[in-house]
């Protein structure tokens, strides 16, 4: 069953179609990547799904309910969280308290409605214990008592993911989570993504790090100039002619690219 269904989603800025009739599905507890050259429409697509921008056409259905027209906070409460390209933390609070505070956004009525969200919320009823659990899940529990402003860059990015998890999402959209991470931090991130997925949270990741994308993504959506030009598992995407052309800017002939 599809957890998120995007259908014909379109956003125009003047004469530019930033997102052009894009459709795809995200299944429960899966990892999907969205890739494409700069300006392909990836961030705009995330903004449309999460209520930060309004689509001109198309629909977004999450867990059977229409999302288009809903406000960002209502979408978070429905179980769809996101992170941004730029991190925003409470700099004077510890990593643990940053996660505890984020949890307050995610306690609407019906919080324990789904089994997945119950698992994320239960067992650790105490806010601090639950926050510590989410720091373990994201691989940064060693930094629980460090002030946000003293954290290394990669740990900040992971803390942002822990904060998004504190809202007990069933689906999380991550915009370039590996940007600026070194090799060891990227490894921590990849391991965290698998643990989060195994907790029953579906992930959609926009990312330029092709090593990460090809390793973690079960399926990849490729955007070019707003339109979806390919979708499928990593091994097929790597061989896809339209994808190679979009990335290398070359025309492919019959004898290859
Ligand atoms: P990506 O994240 O794939 O790099 P974006 O979604 O940020 O791409 O941008 C897609 C296109 O839409 C770009 O050409 C960008 O300049 C344009 N764009 C994005 N946001 C706006 C906006 N608010 N107003 C006008 N043009 C925009
Ligand atoms: Mg972007």
What is the rounded CA–CA span in Å between residue 195 and residue 193? 6
Residue ranges of the domains in the chain? 1-79+170-257, 87-168
CATH label, 1-79+170-257, candidates 3.40.50.300, 3.90.1150.10, 3.10.20.30, 3.30.300.30? 3.40.50.300
> What does the pLDDT profile of the chain (257 residues) look like in tens digits?
799 999 999 999 999 999 999 999 999 999 999 999 999 999 999 999 999 999 999 999 999 999 988 999 899 999 999 987 676 788 989 999 999 888 765 444 333 334 445 455 544 457 888 899 999 999 999 999 999 999 999 999 999 999 999 999 999 999 999 999 999 999 999 999 999 999 999 999 999 999 999 999 999 999 999 999 999 999 999 999 999 888 766 666 666 65
Cβ distance 44 to 38 under 8 Å? no
Number of continuous H segments (helices) and E segments (strands) in the chain: 10, 10
Calculate how far, in angstroms, residue 226's C-alpha sits from the geometric centre of ligand 1: 9
Q: Which of 161, 157, 191 is nearest to 173 (CA)?
A: 161
Residue 103: per-residue pLDDT: 75
Ligand 1, atom 25: closest residue by C-alpha: 13
Q: Which atom of ligand 1 is nearest to the CA of 46?
A: 6
Distance from residue 43's CA to the centre of ligand 2 (Å):
4
Beta strands, E only, the chain: 2-13, 16-27, 31-35, 57-62, 65-66, 80-82, 171-175, 202-206, 219-224, 227-232
pLDDT at 253: 62
Pocket of ligand 1 (CB under 6 A): 13, 16, 18, 36, 38-44
For residues 154, 155, 158, 163, the Cα torsion angle rounded to the nearest 10 degrees is -140
The domains spanning 1-79+170-257 and 87-168 adopt the same CATH topology: yes
Ligand 1 atom 15, closest CA:
39
Query: DSSP 3-state assignment of 212?
Result: helix
Q: Whose CA is nearest to atom 16 of ligand 1?
A: 39
The burial of 22, by beta-carbon neighbours within 10 Å (0-12 exposed, 13-18 middle, 19 or more buried), is given as: buried
User: Span 87-168: which CATH code?
Assistant: 3.40.50.300
| pLDDT attached to residue 111 | 39
Q: Which of 18, 44, 4, 5 is nearest to 172 (CA)?
A: 4
Q: Which ligand gives the minimal distance to the CA of 84?
A: 2
pLDDT attached to residue 68: 87
CA distance 80 to 202: 9
Counting ligands in written order, which one lies closest to the CA of residue 45? 1
Q: Which residue among 9, 18, 33 has the greatest number of ligand 1 atoms within 8 angstroms of its CB, and so is best to mutate? A: 18
């Amino acid at each position: 069953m599809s957890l998120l269904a995007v259908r014909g989603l379109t956003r125009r800025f003047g004469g530019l179609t930033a997102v052009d009739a894009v459709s795809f599905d995200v299944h429960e507890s899966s990892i999907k990547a969205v890739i494409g050259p700069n300006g392909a429409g990836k961030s705009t697509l995330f903004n449309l799904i999460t209520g930060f921008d309004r689509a001109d056409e198309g629909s977004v259905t999450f867990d059977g309910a229409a999302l288009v027209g809903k406000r960002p906070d209502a979408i978070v409460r429905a179980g769809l969280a996101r992170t941004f390209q730029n991190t925003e933390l409470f700099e004077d609070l510890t990593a643990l308290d940053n996660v505890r505070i984020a949890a307050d956004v995610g306690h609407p009525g019906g919080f324990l409605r789904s089994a997945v969200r119950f698992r994320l919320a239960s067992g650790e009823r105490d806010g601090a214990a639950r926050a510590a659990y989410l720091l373990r899940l994201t691989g940064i529990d060693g930094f629980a008592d460090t002030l946000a402003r003293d954290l290394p860059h990669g740990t900040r990015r992971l803390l942002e993911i822990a904060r998004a998890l504190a809202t007990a999402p069933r689906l999380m959209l991550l915009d370039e989570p590996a940007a600026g991470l070194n090799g060891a931090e990227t490894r921590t991130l990849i391991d965290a993504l698998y643990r989060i997925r195994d907790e029953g949270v579906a992930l959609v990741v926009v990312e330029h790090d092709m090593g990460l994308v090809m390793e973690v993504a079960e399926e990849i959506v490729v955007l070019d100039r707003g339109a979806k030009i390919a979708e499928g598992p990593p091994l097929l995407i790597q061989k896809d002619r339209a994808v190679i052309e979009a990335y290398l800017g070359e025309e492919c002939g019959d004898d290859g690219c």
